[in-house]
Structure 1
């Protein structure tokens, strides 16, 4: 259902419906995301033993960016279900074709192209936040070790531009070391999803200069890595 590379730094989005300008934001619906959340809940309950910690830390209203580590194909749909609120994830454009693409659009997810700067995806993401919604991002940009070693700048840009708080999310049990990258986690295995405290990516000045962006990116990377370490200690993973 959801992409292996959900959380790219936003780039040129696809697909475009007839008559829509290349730069016109695709507007996913919260109703669709709510349906996606129910699907994610059913998937999690059927496939694994999922433990959610700190879900209460996600603000109950207003714009929020969920920033999660990413080690497996199932991370996206799993987090759609485990998030306390309907969430619109950034999903690589390659997934938006055929039946899978129709499902992704139907559940309010946002296509993003990875090869170039994507004004359309940025616009769509900002519209979600402007409307007080929840945006899901995998800031590492692709599946990997899931340790936040590489955090792309798109998350910091969206956070500074929208003023939305960032909630770090650590997922354990979907991409254990020693298992083939992308292999589905063992059925009925334990998966932990740990939400952290929301934080502001900026320094309070609301500046969006190159220097401010670089500082925000480093602040985000540090906070995400710190949350991951705390979550490991909490869960013993």
Structure 2
């Protein structure tokens, strides 16, 4: 039995906070930002009919740019929530309030980033949203691709889908890295974005969420669907920063499950 088959996620902490819904701010932001963005960027939106209009759903997308988390809510036919660094909601002064309002307006839920328990708490927040019948968006690659290739998926998205029974709608984003490349402070207005929604995936035939093999096979199915939509070159590896120390290098070399 491999480590991917034997590793089981531990239950999230009982101290995991409840997700704070944006309420009126999100409703107002969606009614203003989405039409404005569609007017300015004229995004090509394909497969909207594939998105379930009610009930829990997970949008699993490739990740090329900061604006991916704006492109998906703008293109989706229903409200979408995603997790964002809690620091975006904790600023002070006019700038801090403006940043907090913007992220609430696009459906962001604050969460403390990190590995270990922080990562499990983030999954638990998303599970709570799905249990309320809402839609969440996640990036199986874990972080943005800086070279445009599609990296191997981490199993957290599959675990969430298998645990909750929510269908997964694969999303292929094209051109967001040209509208706002990594490192850019402002988006350009000269490029168009394509957002492709694939048919919902029922991952339950792979097995229970407690099975590492089921999580891996489900993740591979998700990534294959994203690849079919985005057409990206496959990297064949995980997208992770180079290890800085000897211990970290050993940990990356050993077989383990990337959540």
Give the unaligned 5+ runs of structure 1: 1-12, 14-20, 231-237
1:125 counterpart SS class: helix
1:136 and 2:168 equivalent?
A: no
Match of 2:15 among 15, 22, 28: 22
1:158 corresponds in structure 2 to 160
Task: Please give the root-mean-square deviation of Cα atoms over the aligned residues, in Å.
Answer: 2.8
Q: Which has the higher helix share?
A: 2
TM-score by length of 2: 0.70
State how far apart, in whole Å, the 1-side matches of 2:204 and 2:25 are.
31
Provide the rounded CA distance (Å) in 2 between the counterparts of 1:151 and 1:36: 31
Report if aligned partners of 1:160, 1:206 keep a CA contact under 8 Å in 2.
Answer: yes
Correspondences of 1:1-237 after superposition (within 5 Å): 22-29=15-22, 32-98=25-91, 99=97, 100-105=99-104, 107-117=106-116, 118=118, 119-144=120-145, 145-176=147-178, 180-183=181-184, 184-203=186-205, 205-229=207-231
Distance 2:198 2:23 in 1: 23
Q: State the alpha-carbon separation in 1 of the partners of residues 17 and 44 from structure 2.
A: 39
Shift of 1:25: 2.4
SS of residue in 2 equivalent to 1:190: coil
More deviation in 212-221 or 194-203?
Answer: 212-221
- Specify whether residues 203 and 40 from structure 1 end up closer, same or farther in structure 2 by C-alpha distance, changes over 3 A only: farther
Structure 2 vs 1, CA of residues 67 and 43 (structure 1 numbering), >3 Å: closer, same or farther? farther
Q: Which string of whole-angstrom CA distances, capped at 9 and with x for unpartnered residues, describes residues 4-39 of structure 1?
A: xxxxxxxxx9xxxxxxx7323224256554334334
Structure 1's 131 and 90: CA in aligned 2 closer, same or farther, altered over 3 A? Answer: same
TM-score (norm 1): 0.76
- Per-residue deviation, 1:45: 3.0
Larger Rg: 2
Paired with 2:100 and 2:19, the residues of 1 have a C-alpha distance of: 14
Change (3 A) 1:29 1:39: same
Instruction: Give 4+ residue runs of structure 1 displaced > 6 Å after superposition.
Output: none
Aligned residues: 210
- How far residue 52 of structure 1 moved from its aligned partner, in angstroms, is 0.8
Q: CA deviation at 1:206?
A: 3.5
1:191–1:106 CA distance, 2 compared to 1 (3 A): closer
